[in-house]
Amino acid sequence: MGPRATAQFALVAMWQKRGLLTRMLAPLASLHRAWRAWVTWAYRVGLMRSFRASVPVIVIGNLYIGGTGKTPLAIELVRQLRARGWQPGIVSRGYGASKSDAAKAMAREVDANGTAAEFGDEPLLLAQATGAPVVIGRDRVAAVKLLLNLHNRIDVIVTDDGLQHRHLARDIELALLHYRGLGNGWMLPAGPLREPPQRLQSVDAVAFAFLRHVHRARRCPWLEGHEPEDIVAATGTRTARRQSAHRRRLRHRHARSLLRHAARRRSHVRCDRPR
């Protein structure tokens, strides 16, 4: 095991409990949480504005930093959408692409015949596994605009990651949790979370990583407002906005069913409160 992998394992282990080092970092985590709260408030009151695409947007994301299996779930979700008659497109950040900083900042379409060095392994996998058009870019709004300009038949967009990218308005939010759950429940750098655990109460659905432990979600104190059912739990706590018939059809008629099918293999989360 190399030094980098060793450091990652040590960091994950530290974030699973509230020890001396994490408590020393707690003030920085409080500042991070305050900043996130301010950004959320600024978008809510209109100080900062989100871009709303002309088609529905589904965001797949997580609170835990790093990978939680979002890409396989995005692939299955795209397949389920296509099976129901939709024409999905995909937006991804493009992690792993070996380009200059300027090139990484620009939105560009993924060539399914390209290489992981060009576009990143996950975006390339999305393009090859789904056959759907994929656009990568740090700026999700620019990526969405390019995707719609290049493919005018797209009628729904799936974003792989981007739960915290509030500049892009979304119609459905799906949070994915894996075997590490929420760690010690604290935000970076004292914990592994990019947003506070209560953020799960405002998403539309939660998918869990392993089927055999989905029953534990019913006891999870941070999932109040959700009713776990099989794999995905939908919530009605989110304020409804004025939407076109096209958006309502996705949100109310198909969303719960397709999300449950797409997440069929993801149903485990650690739900205990850290001590």
pLDDT digits over 73-130, tens only?
A: 888 889 888 888 899 999 998 876 665 554 556 899 999 999 888 898 899 999 999 9
Q: How far apart are alpha carbons 57 and 18 in whole angstroms? A: 36
Task: Tell me if the pTM is above 0.85.
Answer: no
Per-residue pLDDT at 160 exceeds 60: yes
Segment 178-234, tens digit of pLDDT: 777 788 999 999 999 999 998 988 887 777 765 444 555 545 555 555 544 433 433
Domain coordinates in residue numbering, the chain? 3-86+155-262
Nearest to 227 by CA among 215, 239, 243: 215
Residue 270 vs residue 62, higher pLDDT: 62
> Which token pair is 169?
């308005």
Q: 20-34, 115-129, 137-151, 237-251 — which is least confidently predicted? A: 237-251
* Bond before 274 cis per omega within 30 degrees: no
Which segments of the chain does DSSP mark as H helices, in order?
A: 3-15, 20-45, 70-83, 101-105, 116-119, 121-130, 140-150, 245-248, 255-262
Q: In this predicted model, which residue has the larger pLDDT, 273 or 148?
A: 148
Residue 205, C-beta contacts closer than 8 angstroms, at least 6 positions apart:
172, 173, 174, 175, 232, 233, 234, 235, 255, 256, 259
Does 67 score more than 90 pLDDT?
no
Structure tokens at 266: 């993801």
Residue 11 is predicted with a pLDDT of 87
According to DSSP, residue 156 is labeled: E
Token pair 């995707």 is found at 147
DSSP symbols for 197-257? GGGGGGSSEEEES-GGGGGGGGG-TT-TT---BTTBEE-S-SPP----HHHHIIIIIIHHH
Instruction: Assess whether pLDDT exceeds 50 at residue 144.
Output: yes
- Give the separation between CA 79 and CA 263, rounded to whole angstroms: 12
- Angle 163-195-274 (CA atoms, 0-180°, nearest 5)? 130
**Computed from CA positions of residues 109, 111, 114, 116, in that sequence, does the dihedral angle turn out positive or negative?**
positive
DSSP state of 85: T
Distance CA 114, CA 154 (A): 22
